[in-house]
Structure 1
């Protein structure tokens, strides 16, 4: 996955069966990042979304597949839906939509998934932690969700990716809003629970996407988030790159 090359070169190693947290402030493309990441992994995935509608998720996946903007895809779905259904045919992501996320629903979706595919998904995404039933502001419930997610990873062997919020009200958020939040800015201190925790931030001026490894049980990390990998975000395509727009433009001109 070229977009993640700098992150991996820095020693970040997602491992099968781990719980991974992706934390960031509001509006930092956490859902887009997670969706792009699992689409690039191309592994059987069950994605629980309380933030995205089915139409939005389908549009984002179709945008990745076709190279059209999500706006173009949304308009095109009304006139030529077969084109986009074909583009989505190879996707290995199965979605479950609804808020709040309930463990009863998780169990039912897993049972249905196993019935359909005769195996557990290799990746399970929860978007996001505060959308679990009772988890909007209850620290105890959020801790319970993290413990249950760990049990789920152990029972199924799946890698669990949980999205979570960092504080928008801290001094750091106001003074340096485009920097990845440090570990102590993740709400509830819950970034310490997973085996791997990533902190993300988006600079809307340059579209530079910064990803810091703030916790890693079996590798290097920086809880201050001052050391981070860089990629570039194209929100309208739900795509991330390891080169800047100018570099891609120059490469295209040479070709």
Structure 2
């Protein structure tokens, strides 16, 4: 049992703000304050670069991170990271790795300072997650500061079972409390709603997130990508300690560069792609 004074003293460190990412300045201006030790949900419709956004965020903060991916293959994840670090497209990275020599070494060197550790496989299970955490602690003598779960519906038995999804969210909250890590979990929004068909490039509102599960985390972000302009729209649809808009009509505007898994605060010049020979 903790008094309010003792609880504040013990948990003040875990509640501090996460390192800021320059590309997200529009999001911070809207009062979004992601914090250490929180559960954060990134929700969006299919094909909205949710995994790319989470990967870019984790790589940009470069905190000790354990990333569980059921959506991306090991090659896809590592290629995206190398592309992010060098500015080359994922196609160029793939060609360069096949080419070998100094080109291959350049991409490997670009990843040498990354603090991300991956676990791949579907479905994600709690026993496997526990084993990966134990191995991480054995290796680093500390819990990761960030845990990314990509995504909620790839947990065992959680694809369509609402009860199981609720259980996953309860487990995720317990995971954050027990480890002190920020847990970022990805989730889907409906592709079949009237809004999804009539206004597909706007972030889904809170009631469009499947299962209503965006109400559970301390912070829930809703994302959408306009494929023609590459505008990336991020709405804060739930924030326990700050402003939010459950309708998602108020959103921060970022710019996405899918071929390099990069995000920008302002429009950027898209140089012609040069293929390696």
Instruction: Please indicate the TM-score interval, normalised by the length of the shorter structure.
Output: over 0.9
Q: Report the more deviating stretch, 146-155 or 76-85.
A: 76-85
Name the structure 2 match of 1:15. 35
Find the partner of 1:160 among 183, 194, 198. Answer: 183
Normalising by structure 2, report the TM-score: 0.88
CA distance in 1, matches of 2:192, 2:268: 31
Runs of 4+ in 1 over 3 A off after TM superposition: none
- 2: distance between equivalents of 1:2 and 1:113? 29
2:98 paired residue number: 78
Residue in structure 2 matching 1:90, options 97, 113, 117: 113
Offset, 1:48: 0.1
The equivalent of 2:258 in structure 1 is 235
TM-superposed CA distance for 1:82, in Å, is 2.3
Deviations, residues 16-68 of structure 1 (Å, cap 9, x unaligned): 10000000000000000000001111100000000000000000000011110
Highest RCO, 1 vs 2 (Cα 8 Å, sep ≥ 6)? 1
Match runs of 1:1-255 below 5 Å: 1-80=21-100, 81-245=104-268
Shift of 1:86: 1.0
Output the CA distance in 1 between the equivalents of 2:81 and 2:145. 19
2:274 paired residue number: none
In structure 1, the gaps of 5 or more residues are 250-255
Q: Report the Cα distance in structure 1 between the residues aligned to 2:227 and 2:61, rounded to whole angstroms.
A: 26
1:149: Cα distance to partner?
A: 0.4
Q: Could you tell me how far 1:122 is from its partner in structure 2?
A: 0.2
TM-score (norm 1): 0.96
Larger-Rg structure: 2
Gaps of 5+ in 2: 1-20, 272-277
Q: Which residue does 2:8 correspond to in 1?
A: none
- Deviation at 1:84? 1.6
Provide the rounded CA distance (Å) in 2 between the counterparts of 1:125 and 1:225.
23
RMSD across aligned C-alpha pairs, in angstroms?
A: 1.0
Q: Deviations over 1:2-23 (max 9, x none)?
A: 2100101110000110000000
